Amino acid sequence: MPTLTIDGRQIDSPDGSTVIQAAETLGIFIPRYCYHPGLSIAGNCRICLIEVEKNPKLQIACNTPVADGMVVHTSSVKADEGRRAVLEFLLANHPLDCPVCDQSGECDLQNFYMNFGLYDPRFREQKIKKKKAVAVGPHVMLDQERCILCSRCVRFTDEISKTGEFGIFNRGDRAEVGLYPGQQLDNPYSGNVVDICPVGALTDRDFRFKARVWYLSSAPTVCNGCAQGCNVDVHYVLDRPHLNDGARILRVKPRYNADVNQWWMCDEGRYGFGWIDKGRLTKVRRQGAGATWEQAVAGITEELTKVGERDPERGTCLRLGVIASPQLTNEELFLIREIFQRALGARVTASVPMPAGNSDNFLIRADKNPNTHGAALIGLTDATAPDAAAIVAETLEGQLDALWVFGYDLTKLVADEDLQRLSRSLRLFVFSGTNDNPTAGCSHWALPTAAYLEKEGTFVNAHGRVQRIGRAFPPLSDSREDWRVLLEIAGRLNLGFAWRSPEEIFQALARSVTPFAGLTYERIGLHGASLMTDASVAEVAVT
């Protein structure tokens, strides 16, 4: 392993690694445009110039392999002057339209110019005109003038999405990034080119002109779009309701996780956040009329206490069915198991029919629920448990007297008339969910609950990795977290649970469900933790 010295500090770096990587392990950041750890090395932007002793010319850090005894200076006068010259060239034909550019504030041209720029520019010539605001695909807008031709997007479509739409056409100062005539950038990962574009050449059509990036807050979480569980950062605004029609979330960006999604995420997850701000249930409703949480909890608990009692009229026991959801967190599913299955003896399931979605062998999985695996581990989808269709059938046959549906829309299973009939025949019909749907309209109690970004909890992805979803902001309007509602009901039922937070529920879960043993929120951290070995993953049947 070669030993080299970077800025006076020694480091052993593996054979074949490059100076930029070695510097990064020392915490020394070398500026870069074309270099991206997830892509092949192009070496064309030249901003990562470094001084290597005994070498007459400056070298590019991204493509200089480490060598034993190498002495590198990353921020010497000579290196900084080299970068200044590179920036002068890069900006020769750059339009400098930062005031109207979406990238402004997170633009590496701006950032590095602050460090190395020639503050008194010498360029007096005419700039080359190219095309601006070209919609290259459903999600991406291209501005050829802002482009510095780093070719990250070209390499992304070649190497990661493997669709090869982008190319660099023409030559010299007329060179431009573009698509082959008649083609469009319409692959399932197209949004990533916006993330990797170091300048404002590729911007997000969905986010375009909605907010300046410095107004955005960011919260780390996990995409709930499918069973892959890509790590993401959610960018949102709470204190500027005039932006984005008052919607809180403005965009979702992938967050690096070597074991799950690396630097990438799919477009479906990236642009599928609209439901969190639109079409939400905001008020507790009883038979369609407004009610309070106190009334709801009291009313529902009163009915629940009768579960298991003998109905004097019919001579049978009152029975409860619960359709939980693999959209819920482990903590909530655990509470559902403890309260409904164990304490009340209800028929509980978390297997809800969902048409298999599109999938590939990269990040997109056919199972569009984030926590199917978790529900299986907690025992709500195993072979002995009924599925949602069975529970609805039993309800329609009159075998169940009370039904609680978490989020699922029953009209996917039964006709509208049947849902009406079911609603009339049940003693108790609770719907709790984030968004309004026909099932909520037919239920006796419709409870607005928090979206996954509004609560703490954990999901288990398809590879058996437990990941925390952070709470980005409080629940919208009157909605409450499912775990809070469930704990309140457990309290009323005198079940003796001492837990007060998702973290405490998780501790109980870890004690009770073997694959979670030894895990804590702290150990899961920002990047998740593997539950168990691959062999034991195979044992758990995941639908």
Partner 1 sequence: MSFHPKMAYDATFQKSARPLEDEGPAFVYTPANRARFDEIVRRYPPDRRRSAVLPALYLAQQQQGYITANAIRHVAGLVGITRAEVEDVVSFYTMFYTKPVGTFVLQVCRTLSCALNGAERVTEELSAKIGIPPGQTDPSGTFTLLEVECLGACDRAPVVMVNDAWHENVKPGDAARLVDDLRSRGEAALSGCHHVIEQKR
> Distance (Å, rounded) from C-alpha 330 to C-alpha 154?
40
> Distance (Å, rounded) from C-alpha 358 to C-alpha 78?
52
Task: Pick the closer one to partner 1 by CB: 269 or 321.
Answer: 269
Task: Pick the closer one to partner 1 by CB: 16 or 182.
Answer: 182
Min separation Cβ 225 and partner 1, Å? 11
Min separation Cβ 168 and partner 1, Å? 6
Helical ranges in 3-62 per DSSP H: 19-25
> Of 475, 429, 474, whose CA–CA distance to 283 is shortest?
475
518 is a contact residue toward partner 1 (CB under 8 A): no
> Distance (Å, rounded) from C-alpha 89 to C-alpha 137?
29
Selected from 17, 63, 183, 244, the binder of partner 1 by CB under 8 A is 183
241 is a contact residue toward partner 1 (CB under 8 A): no
Piece of 7-15, 169-177, 288-296, 514-522 that binds partner 1 (CB under 8 A): 169-177
What are the start-end ranges of the E strands in 30-105? 49-52, 59-60, 71-73
> Distance (Å, rounded) from C-alpha 441 to C-alpha 435?
11
Identify the sign of the CA torsion 19, 23, 24, 29: negative
246 is a contact residue toward partner 1 (CB under 8 A): no
Min separation Cβ 433 and partner 1, Å? 21
Selected from 272, 308, 438, 441, the binder of partner 1 by CB under 8 A is 272
200 is a contact residue toward partner 1 (CB under 8 A): no
Q: What angle do CA 401, 405, 406 make, to 5 degrees?
A: 155
Selected from 27, 181, 312, 355, the binder of partner 1 by CB under 8 A is 181
Contact string (CB under 8 A) for partner 1, positions 123-152, x = contact? --------x--xx--xx-------------
Selected from 168, 243, 493, 495, the binder of partner 1 by CB under 8 A is 168
271 is a contact residue toward partner 1 (CB under 8 A): yes
Question: Residue 532, Cβ neighbours under 10 Å: how many?
Answer: 16
H-run or E-run covering 364: none
Burial 163-186 (b: 16+ CB within 10 A, else e): bebbbbeeeeeebbbbbeeeeebe
184 is a contact residue toward partner 1 (CB under 8 A): yes
Min separation Cβ 296 and partner 1, Å? 32
Task: Pick the closer one to partner 1 by CB: 166 or 431.
Answer: 166
Q: What angle do CA 153, 155, 159 make, to 5 degrees?
A: 125
Structure-token pair, residue 376: 């299986």
Min separation Cβ 448 and partner 1, Å? 23
Selected from 16, 99, 172, 496, the binder of partner 1 by CB under 8 A is 172
Size of the site for partner 1 (CB under 8 A): 31
178 is a contact residue toward partner 1 (CB under 8 A): yes
Amino acid identity, position 123: F
Residues forming the site for partner 1 (CB under 8 A): 131, 134-135, 138-139, 158, 164-172, 175, 178-184, 186, 205-206, 267-268, 271-272, 274
